[in-house]
Amino acid sequence: MTYRQAIDYLFSQLPMFQRIGPAAYKANLDNTLALSEYLGHPERRFPSIHIAGTNGKGSVAHMLASVLQEHRLRTGLATSPHLKDFRERIRINGEMVPKRTVTAFVKKHRHFFEPLKASFFEISIAMTFDYFARSRVDVAVVETGLGGRLDSTNIVRPGLCIITGIHYDHTALLGNSLEQIATEKAGIIKEGVPVLIGREQPEVHHVFEKTARQKGAPLFLASDLVKLLPVAESELLHETSPHLQQIVTESDWGHGTSFGCDLLGHYQKENMRTALAALLLLARECNYQLEVAKIGIGLASVRRNTGFAGRWQVIGHQPMTICDTAHNVEGIHAVVSQLKLVDHDRLHIVFGVVDDKDLDGVLACLPREADYYFCKPDVPRGMDAGRLASLADRHGLVGPACPTVKKALELARKQAGPRDLIFIGGSTFVVAEVV
């Protein structure tokens, strides 16, 4: 079996949420537990940090992994979905799992998971944990795929649990209220394990308090552990780099300590605070020996250390061209707010979505004064560009329906002047086709 055959098998033979959506979702952990037992419970053989949340969990995971790498810890990083290469999901110290490892795993174990009718995600997580255990990682940062309570990653025994912001997404599977969604995310809270809440949201905080109390889990708020200070109130000893998102904090790391991160979206400031709070808890509750200088280097080097891509990523100049994988109301709103801060003449938006989104809510966030180029991402559940254009027109968003993401971007570049701004987004799968 070649690597290409192994990947084709995973993509075509197993239910894959990334391609077909909710039909691939398993509402129990039976297969995951069976795979774990068959492989000798690999998730028990390394320390881990488990992260759930609607938005921000991927960014926080990559920030933590980068910092831990800078401390010379052999750091596993499990994330989803991937943009270009399946192996993006499984990294150690930023290096993707070797092709031969993927191939060997599928070839060796397919006889077991075929009768099980395991999903793509169940198999990929089993592969991830097996690889981390065999590679003897010092720690693994594990991002949930969907929800938390029934997510395949939820068999880890972490030293710290983190829950970022709660917003509406995947409501058909996780619930139609923020309280229901928070309950699913709170399912990662473990007996006696510290849990960090990244964003204080009064409407759902009682859910986390109740679950933490039932589990005897110490509960912390990032905003209590790390205070963000206005830059004007600090005494910075260096110029703020235009290539770093900058925050100044008050915490155990010191008053007025400045941290820069190479993930440039303004929304990353909240994720930086969550990551810094998590590092405080790792030092305080889990006895990690961490240094402020190495934390700073790790945050400033997330892309280099982990290969993180697709979040407020500049992919072209003259015209400035930016893409971002934000795909729900909260995420799109944050992106649109930042687009307004970019100096430009005319805004051009290349936009595509998948079928299972709160599309009216997303479209209502988008600026009417932009030129639109609607497209269909190249996945089975991608929404037809013509249908998307028609729905967008009801919100005053006007533009042609293009047959592909590539054609839409080509048209936008043809229409744009050198001082214009092109934004590409709406779906992870749209961004995957341009990075």
Task: CATH number of the domain at 95, please.
Answer: 3.40.1190.10
Residue 237, SS3?
A: coil
Q: What is the pLDDT of residues 328-385, one digit of tens each?
A: 888 899 999 999 989 999 999 999 999 866 799 999 999 999 999 999 999 888 999 9
Q: Do 41 and 181 reside in the same domain of the chain?
A: yes
Locate tokens 């070797």: which residue? 98
* Residue 398 in domain: yes
Q: Do 208 and 340 reside in the same domain of the chain?
A: no
* Residue 200 in domain: yes
Q: What is the pLDDT of residues 109-142, one digit of tens each?
A: 999 988 988 888 999 999 999 999 999 999 999 9
Q: CATH number of the domain that 333 lies in?
A: 3.90.190.20
Structure tokens at 82: 């991937």
Q: Do 331 and 214 reside in the same domain of the chain?
A: no
How confident is residue 251, by pLDDT bands cut at 50, 70 and 90? confident
Q: Which of 225, 259, 288 is the last residue of a domain?
A: 225
Q: From the CB of residue 259, how many other CB atoms can be counted at a distance below 10 Å? A: 23
* Residue 357 in domain: yes
Q: Which of 225, 253, 278 is the last residue of a domain?
A: 225
Residues counted in the chain? 435
* Residue 351 in domain: yes
* Residue 337 in domain: yes
Please tell me the predicted confidence (pLDDT) of residue 26.
60
β-partners of residue 258 are 248
Q: Do 36 and 134 reside in the same domain of the chain?
A: yes
pTM of the model: 0.91
Q: Do 330 and 220 reside in the same domain of the chain?
A: no
* Residue 280 in domain: no
Q: Report, as an integer, the average pLDDT of 393-397.
A: 96
Structure tokens at 317: 């100049």
Better-predicted residue by pLDDT, 160 or 311: 160
Structure tokens at 10: 């995973």
Q: Which of 158, 192, 225 is the last residue of a domain?
A: 225
Q: Do 349 and 202 reside in the same domain of the chain?
A: no
Cβ distance 260 to 268 under 8 Å?
Answer: no
Phi, psi dihedral angles at 185 (to 5 degrees): -65, -40
Residue 387 has pLDDT above 60, yes or no: yes
Structure tokens at 183: 């309950």
Q: Report, as an integer, the average pLDDT of 3-10.
A: 92
- Say how many domains are in the chain: 2
Residue 57, SS3?
A: helix
Domain hosting 381: range is 313-432
Locate tokens 């966030």: which residue? 365
> Where do the DSSP E strands lie in 297-403?
313-316, 320-323, 347-351, 371-374
Q: Do 44 and 190 reside in the same domain of the chain?
A: yes
* Residue 40 in domain: yes
Cβ distance 389 to 289 under 8 Å?
Answer: no
Structure tokens at 133: 């255990």
The least confident of 118-122, 123-127, 292-296, 301-305 is: 118-122
Q: Do 338 and 221 reside in the same domain of the chain?
A: no
Range with the largest mean pLDDT of 65-74, 143-152, 196-205: 65-74
How confident is residue 236, by pLDDT bands cut at 50, 70 and 90? very low
Q: Do 21 and 162 reside in the same domain of the chain?
A: yes
* Residue 240 in domain: no
Q: Do 72 and 190 reside in the same domain of the chain?
A: yes
